[in-house]
């Protein structure tokens, strides 16, 4: 064994007569405080990561993130912000509704409450919009087509009372709710969507019918929509009671600065 060439920052105790050589050098619990340095290094790296995040995220989006959009294996879905849409549900299981069982009710402060079947909704004029989808948790899916009936058209058909000020949405998962002001609900880019990515809306994406609020964070686009209730004022929805903003404009709410989707 050779003597270690590196200088020791702390003095070594005197050698024993029965020392077995430098293999026994550096007693347990003495020596360089590398552990502390590693901990502090991690903290510094974490802070640097927060600072460099915008740069790193852009680099990731333009390389791996872009590749992940076309990933046929789906493995990139395991990476953070890697693979397109993510499935979020607030309940344990969601019943499946189809052609036969699905109903959409419009009620509340309206003159003509109505119930629509899927076929009824399909017979109404359809609008197709293509915008990015931005989730408040960070993922974004570029250029996603949604197609369906303008919410404003359904409201007009129901005859909204003059004292009404907002719309509340209920979902057949049994828990989720959302809301919009009447002005927001009447925008041209707010749909009762029947199709997504030019296919009928699947169950996992909130099918057969979901709300699509193009200019807002995606939690406003309630999945599994079953009821539209016109109310006098905004009643905060499921996530809004848990701290998220009611007026959820992309890039101007929830403490985020994402590029607007519309």
Partner 1 sequence: MTSTPGSAARTDATMPRRPDGGAVGTPAGRIARFTPAERWVHRTTATLMSVCVLTAGCLYLPFLAELVGRRALMVTVHEWAGILLPVPLLLGLASRALRADLTRLNRYGPHDRRWLRAALRRHKGRRPAGKFNAGQKLYAAWIAGAVLVMLATGLLMWFPHLAPLLWRTGATFVHDWLALAVVVVVSGHVWKAYGEPEARRGMRTGAVDARWAEREHPLWEAPE
Q: Which residues bind partner 1 (CB under 8 A)?
A: 4, 6, 8, 12-16, 18-20, 22-43, 45-46, 49-54, 56-57, 77-81, 86-94, 137-138, 204, 238, 242-243, 254-257
Cβ closest to partner 1, residue 28 vs residue 183: 28
Task: Enumerate residues 6+ apart whose C-beta is below 8 A from 142.
Answer: 69, 132
Task: Please state the closest distance from residue 153 (CB atom) to partner 1, in A.
Answer: 31
Picking from 212, 179, 175, the residue whose alpha carbon sits closest to that of residue 108 is: 179
- From the centroid of its chain, how far is CA 223? 13
Picking from 85, 80, 92, 90, the residue whose alpha carbon sits closest to that of residue 242 is: 90
Task: Please state the closest distance from residue 202 (CB atom) to partner 1, in A.
Answer: 12
Distance from C-alpha of 193 to C-alpha of 121, rounded to nearest angstrom:
10
Task: Please state the closest distance from residue 219 (CB atom) to partner 1, in A.
Answer: 10
Task: Please state the closest distance from residue 171 (CB atom) to partner 1, in A.
Answer: 13
Task: Please state the closest distance from residue 88 (CB atom) to partner 1, in A.
Answer: 5
Distance from C-alpha of 225 to C-alpha of 210, rounded to nearest angstrom:
5
Q: Are the C-beta atoms of residues 132 and 143 closer than 8 Å to each other?
A: yes
Cβ closest to partner 1, residue 8 vs residue 63: 8
Q: Is 70 exposed, middle or buried (0-12, 13-18, 19+ CB in 10 A)?
A: exposed
Cβ closest to partner 1, residue 54 vs residue 113: 54
Cβ closest to partner 1, residue 57 vs residue 181: 57
Cβ closest to partner 1, residue 22 vs residue 98: 22
Cβ closest to partner 1, residue 93 vs residue 111: 93
Residues facing residue 129 across a β-bridge: 146
Task: Please state the closest distance from residue 140 (CB atom) to partner 1, in A.
Answer: 12
Distance from C-alpha of 164 to C-alpha of 155, rounded to nearest angstrom:
11
Distance from C-alpha of 25 to C-alpha of 11, rounded to nearest angstrom:
12
């Amino acid at each position: 064994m050779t003597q270690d060439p590196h200088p020791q920052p702390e003095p070594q105790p005197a050698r024993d007569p029965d020392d077995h050589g430098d293999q026994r050098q550096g007693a347990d619990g003495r020596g360089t405080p590398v552990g502390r340095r590693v901990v502090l290094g991690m903290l510094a790296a974490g802070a640097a990561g927060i600072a460099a995040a915008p740069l790193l995220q852009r680099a990731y989006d333009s390389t791996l993130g872009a590749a992940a959009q076309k990933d046929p294996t789906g493995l990139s879905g395991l990476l953070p912000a890697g693979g397109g849409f993510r499935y979020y549900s607030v309940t344990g299981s969601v019943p499946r509704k189809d052609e036969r069982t699905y109903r959409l009710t419009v009620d509340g402060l309206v003159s003509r409450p109505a119930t629509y079947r899927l076929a009824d909704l399909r017979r109404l004029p359809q609008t197709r919009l293509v915008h990015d989808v931005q989730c408040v948790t960070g993922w974004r899916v570029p250029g996603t087509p949604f197609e369906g009936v303008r919410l404003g058209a359904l409201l007009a058909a129901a005859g909204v009372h003059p004292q009404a000020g907002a719309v509340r949405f209920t979902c057949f998962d049994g828990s989720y709710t959302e809301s919009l002001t009447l002005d927001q609900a009447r925008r041209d880019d707010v749909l009762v969507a029947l199709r997504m990515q030019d296919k009928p809306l699947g169950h996992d994406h909130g099918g057969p019918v979901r709300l699509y609020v193009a200019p807002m964070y995606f939690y406003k686009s309630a999945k599994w929509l079953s009821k539209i209730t016109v109310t006098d004022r905004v009643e905060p929805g499921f996530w809004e009671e848990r701290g998220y903003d009611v007026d959820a404009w992309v890039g101007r709410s929830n403490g985020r600065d994402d590029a607007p989707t519309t």
